[in-house]
Amino acid sequence: ILAQVPAFIVSRRTCRPLSLSPRSPLLTMGAACSQNRPHQPESAATAPAGKAPANASATRSGPSGAGKRGHTADQSGHFVLKHAGNVAEVYAIDSKKIGEGAFGSVCLGKHKASCATRAIKSVPKGNPQMNQLLQMEIATMKEMDHPHIVKLFDTFEDRKCVYFAMELCEGGELFDRITKAHNFSESSAALVMRQILQAVHYMQTGNLAHRDLKPENFLVLRKDPIEQDGNVLKLIDFGLAKHVAPGQFLKSRVGTAMYMAPQVLMRRYDTQCDMWSTGVIMYILLSGRPPFSGSPEDIMFDKIRNGRWKFEGSSWEQVSEDAKALVRTMLKMSPKVRATAEQALDSVWIKELAPRASDAKLDSAVMEGLRSFKVHNKLKKAALEIVAREMNDNDIKKLRETFEALDVNQDGKLDMAEVITGIEKSGLGGGGVDVQRIVAGLDVDGSGTVDYTEFLAATIDRKTSLTKEVLWSAFNIFDQNGDGKITQQELKNVLGSADVEKHVGAESIAQVMKEADSSGDGVIEFDEFVSLMTQTVHGNCADRSGLGGA
């Protein structure tokens, strides 16, 4: 089979860009293939932009000896800090590079407060156009909240570079797993495809086209076999991602040639371009070769434009008809009849070979978290979201499976009906009125849906999760000037922005301060913050991980 694998699998030579253009600055582990970048923003697409209040720097110490630092509460979606200082003030940087490309390098960094290890991407500053694209990518990533999309935690900027602290995926690229396996078994391929399709479905429900889906842009969380329980894929590289409203179209010819949809080549496409790319990935997973090839690239482009492909090679003789049927639906020429991600997830092949954790149910501890979340003040709700983002996938595996089991339509969000059904199935609902109140407490922004991090914030095991290091990391986000105290103005800066307020409610800042400032001195110190966070609805929790005497 290896002899049948074309050169692109071995050397990636045909993954060169259509023309010279900047590499995405946010690749966590550094896929080697370049791609085109649009030369100017497209009118059909919009990108979010967050605004940050002013910040200051100060010297401080904490549980892990974190030093001087300052940041802004840049909250255009979730709690991603934009730091004004040196990245080395917040992270202990390992000088050994774990990835390097034409437009930046990646090394490991250990957060001095939480002790979490991140992938630190450094990107030299470029021209204004490059910097604008970079800011658009950051803004898009801050919107993302999904189990199979990589998380961005912090950004830094100095005179020469921009730095990104991102979720570390130690298992490398899906591309490398393909080169080692040559072609996947159907069961393994189905597990991979379900995760890819879940990420695409989430983006499609938000009218977001990624525009560069390929095996190099999916990272494996751990070094373990991809089939191992708890190992997951994470989508990266949102440098080409664009929002496109229903009925509108994008026109830039961008992406990686082999995975481009015909409509991208014809410069008139929407989010369904990603489903074509997903179909190409599935074809490669099952056969070890692409459906389209040719040199020069114009030959390959002609094949793509005409939809000329077939199940070629001996590998396909062993592939089921259900798998082939799914490939056909994703590689249909017309986007209108091409399968959506939701339809592909509902295919026989996916449901039989990669079923969701549909038997995962709400247990009493999770149920109690859902019940109590609605009564927390906005500071505690926001802090719990920060803590939930800090948790690694191994620690939240059970909760992730519960969330995915509740998410019947697999769009990465829970609507009211899904939450109600899940609670009722658990037998812990206690009546319809109580269920409605629980849902209202979770859906603080009034959108009718519960995001992934909102669910985790409500349901994490606080007895084991709220360690001093994690709480110190959360405290740092509110303590903007780094003096070891949270002032009312700092609370207002973080909790008073419209973007954060929609996540945690509109409770007055003064009321929050009154509840948390037990000493009445007008500021919230770390011990008061710990007391607030470890307090349950019925009283204080028992001492945990040394917090009782904090």
User: Which residues participate in the annotated binding site for ATP?
Assistant: 121
Q: What are phi and psi of 6, to 5 degrees?
A: -70, 170
Token pair listed for 433: 């009125």
Token pair listed for 459: 């349901």
Question: Which residues lie below 8 Å from residue 207, measured CB to CB, with a gap of 6+?
Answer: 243, 244, 245, 246, 271
Closest listed residue to residue 531, CA positions, set 516, 546, 519: 516
Q: CA angle 207-210-212, nearest 5°?
A: 155
What interhelical angle do 364-373 and 432-442 show, nearest 10? Answer: 70
Question: Which residues lie below 8 Å from residue 18, measured CB to CB, with a gap of 6+?
Answer: 36, 253, 257, 297
How much helix, strand and coil, in percent to the nearest 5, is found in the chain?
40, 15, 45
Helix (H, G, I), strand (E, B) or coil at 107: strand
CA dihedral 29, 119, 455, 544 (to 10 degrees): 140
Cα distance between residue 329 and residue 315, in whole Å: 20
- 212 labelled catalytic: yes
Question: Which residues lie below 8 Å from residue 98, measured CB to CB, with a gap of 6+?
Answer: 29, 106, 107, 108, 119
Q: Which of 145, 212, 237, 270 is catalytic?
A: 212
Q: Where are the alpha helices (DSSP H) in 84-225?
A: 128-143, 174-181, 186-205
Contact 531, 544 (CB under 8 A): no
C-alpha to C-alpha distances, 81 to 139, 141, 164, 169, 228, nearest whole angstrom? 12, 13, 10, 20, 33
Closest listed residue to residue 417, CA positions, set 430, 435, 402: 435
Beta-sheet strands, E only, within 395-543 = 414-415, 449-450, 485-486, 524-525, 535-536, 539-540
Contact 299, 347 (CB under 8 A): no
Q: Which residues pair with 485 in a beta bridge?
A: 525
Token pair listed for 434: 């109580």
Token pair listed for 135: 């800011």
Closest listed residue to residue 216, CA positions, set 30, 341, 36, 38: 30
CA dihedral 408, 411, 414, 417 (to 10 degrees): -50
Contact 329, 343 (CB under 8 A): yes
Q: Please identify every residue annotated as catalytic.
A: 212
